[in-house]
Amino acid sequence: MGRTYEHIDERLTGWLVEQPVFFVATAPLDADGHVNCSPKGNRGEFAVLDGNRVAYLDQTGSGVETIAHVTENGRIVVMFCALSGPPRIVRLHGRGRAVRPGEGQFDALVARFPGGDGPGVRSVIVVEVERISDSCGYGVPLMTFEGPRPTMDEWAHRKGRDGIEAYWAEKNATSLDGLRGI
């Protein structure tokens, strides 16, 4: 049933960017470290850069696992699953890196996303995709999408840029396993 692909073509690009949610999984090198899986809302926050590169806006959160893990070892998988329409799961395995505000590519990358200059954006995660695969998704339930939650944007706007940076210093300095975050 499952297939692998050499690159992300136009058809697959269209399907990926239309999904309202995706998941990102990473892990530290330490066998005793915590594996992390994060859900990501997709309000235009995921982009296919080319046939073997994708990126997404990394919004401020209570943890910093993805940034810490990709900085340490680069390993990442991004998973999409159809919650409506025909069943399908797509996984993008690869090597990721976090591009932070003030770094050379940040402005050009963030310009690819509507609303990418919001105060809560702490990085753009860029993934060099090494393996593209899909599977049936028969076990994924059908769900109705009501819309994105406004809570994160409202919180970030209330804090403002200075408040967000203070939050990063307090909550995003290290990962659960003590790896360097922000």
Question: Which whole number is the average pLDDT over 44-48?
Answer: 96
pLDDT band at 86 (very low <50, low <70, confident <90, very high): very high
Instruction: Let me know: does 54 contact 48? Beta carbons within 8 Å.
Output: yes
Tens-digit pLDDT profile for residues 97-113: 999 999 989 999 999 99
Instruction: Report the alpha-carbon distance of residue 112 to residue 163 in Å, rounded.
Output: 25
Average pLDDT, the chain: 96
Nearest to 101 by CA among 119, 79, 84, 83: 119
Tens-digit pLDDT profile for residues 118-161: 889 999 999 999 999 999 999 999 999 999 999 999 999 999 99
Question: Which whole number is the average pLDDT over 91-95?
Answer: 98
Residue with tokens 């406004």: 150
Q: DSSP letter string over 140-151? A: SPP-------SH
The answer, as to whether pTM is greater than 0.75, is yes
14-51 burial: b if 16+ Cβ within 10 Å, else e: ebbeebbebebbbbbeeeebeebeeebebbebbbbeeb
Architecture of domain 3-171: Roll (2.30)
Predicted local confidence at residue 126, as pLDDT: 98
Predicted local confidence at residue 1, as pLDDT: 60
Q: What is the SS3 assignment for 164? A: helix
Taking the alpha carbons at both ends of the chain, their separation in whole angstroms is 41
Q: What is the largest CA-CA distance in the chain?
A: 50
Domain boundaries, the chain: 3-171
Instruction: Report the alpha-carbon distance of residue 63 to residue 34 in Å, rounded.
Output: 12
Q: Which two tokens mark 178?
A: 């003590």
Instruction: Let me know: does 96 contact 78? Beta carbons within 8 Å.
Output: no
